[in-house]
Amino acid sequence: MPQYKAPLRDIKFVMDELLDTPAHYANLPAYADVATPDMVDAIINEGAKFCENVLSPLNRIGDIEGCTRHEDGSVTTPKGFKEAYKQFVEGGWPSLAHDPEHGGQGLPESLGIVMSEMVGSSNWSWGMYPGLSHGAMNTISLHGTPEQKETYLTKLVSGEWTGTMCLTESHCGSDLGILKTKAEPNADGSYAITGSKIFISAGEHDMVDNIVHIVLARLPGAPEGTKGISLFIVPKFLPDANGNPGERNKVVCGSIEHKMGIHGNATCVMNFDGAKGWLIGPENKGLNCMFTFMNTARIGTALQGSTAAEASFQGALAYAKDRLAMRSLTGPKAPEKAADPIIVHPDVRRMLLTQKAFAEGGRALVYLTAQQNDIVHGAESEEARKAADELLGFLTPIAKAFLTEVGYESTNLGVQVFGGHGFIAEWGMEQLVRDTKIACIYEGTTGIQALDLLGRKVLMTQGQSLKNFTKIVHKFAQSVEGNAEMKEFIEPLNAINKEWGDLTMKVGMSAMKNRDEVGSASVDYLMYSGYATLAFLWARMAYIAQTKLAEGTTEVDFYNAKIKTARFYFQRILPRTRAHAVTMLAGADSLMSLEQDHFAF
């Protein structure tokens, strides 16, 4: 199993040099005094130690042992998980980026994302237990009553309790408008929640004293479809007068799903049998409130794509440096050995550089979205908050879908670098493939995200959200105009930035005649958008590296690697947009003309 090592130098590069995080925090009054450079460094360094020394060794254990459900519906997590969570809580990590009013440390969301990245790369299954709580906290914070915040938020922030999101039912996945779970009013103002939810990550476990379920259900007489869904807090144990776990509620784990991966996380079927719950937000506005949770989870899922690429890259790189096979085509590179290390072979380099480009580019994209989130919550100017929110809305489906797709690709490349050994479980590379595939599916599949991007975020705004971003790209390109060393990056970046708008207009015109044109183009459009977005970020990273080298930095190897990886991205990865440009304009007919019955053979 690859032993995770936190990529601290690259994390600091993205934070301090690419995104100028010190100035970013200093300009936000809520964080200026708490997120000082020394504090940020200390948090990241201590978080790295926890992830490297505590979580990484448990990753394979979690995959082998999985979770165990007992007769009474209780669940035992893999060996060491509970103890690691206790250390996590004692270290104050759950409260890092939450409001001090409820016990949080008041640090910015973007710093929490850095910790989440290290947790995810070291042990994704374990990280899902506190990870789901984050969305529950945000939902209660924004939509809960003062009493709900006092009862539940303080315990969630401290990490004493964890949270879940209970949306999906066996007959409905992303189409929540047809859910059947019922909420009947009780005389005391609570509701009796009845129904079954599936695919509930961290739905039951032994790591905390109580679990707070955030549940979608339908009130009596509610309108059909999504307009008739309400949101409820349903705790595993009903809090007593002192806010401690009291009477057992009527919600139980019916089974644990038998999954392709993430075995260390208890993905449960949760049965609610008249369980007592309390309404969050207005009646029949549950889906609106739940989007707080879902959007938080989508950025977290985007992170899984880049963490998977990082973890697989680390394993593949170490193996490629050590494994001997054949001689280099240009002559022996290790003549004293029986063969050369496989890292000398061009195709192995292709795979490693692809992983590196996606891991480091993905990190830059996720941190950029997190920075926008900071501005949304911490900027004094309404104009700044609005602009950041619009940019975040545009980037979220790209980050979620694109990064999970290329993250999954990266884990498969990791197996390929290992050859036959990659197919063997002991090396841990195939686990990364299995663990990562779900990221392309949950929190909205790639297809769902693509429709959100093209249909809602771009076409429904008459392309304004895209224009806002392409203006940012254009301004950067203008700022380095005349720089000969940047020509190899800026020329293709300018071309794709212009083509992005042209393609959008063509798809939009076709969609005016046939709405299926949106669905037929959407995934290609999203992937094109992802490659274009990473091109912008890689061009910026190359420019920073060139500037540092010109200034006479002592870290010559680090900055040269940035430029060469950027060059690889532009020459070997960005051309994938050519195929996406063609297929997104191919039209819906080739997809829709075949009669359903003719699919059979």
Degrees to nearest 5, angle at CA 191 with 190 and 194:
155
Please give the C-alpha separations between residue 136 and each of 238, 433, 503, in angstroms, as whole numbers: 17, 28, 38
Residue 430 falls in the annotated catalytic set: no
Contacts of 162 (CB under 8 A, 6+ apart): 129, 130, 132, 133, 136, 156, 202, 205, 207, 208, 211, 212
Cβ(301)–Cβ(439) below 8 Å: yes
Tokens of 163: 């949270």
Rounded distance, CA 285 to CA 280, Å? 9
Q: Which of 204, 405, 430, 443 is catalytic?
A: 443
In the block, residue with structure tokens 């989508």? 298
Name the region of 231 (left: φ>0; alpha: ψ -120 to 50; beta: rest). beta
Give the 3-state secondary structure of residue 174.
coil
Instruction: From 561, 560, 553, 458, select the one nearest 511 (Cα to Cα).
Output: 458
Degrees to nearest 5, angle at CA 55 with 37 and 156:
70
Instruction: From 469, 466, 494, 468, select the one nearest 479 (Cα to Cα).
Output: 494
Rounded distance, CA 358 to CA 350, Å? 12
The separation between CA 123 and the C-alpha centre of its own chain, rounded to angstroms, equals: 14
Can you point out the beta strands (E) in 267-342?
A: 267-280
Query: Could you list the active site residues?
Result: 443
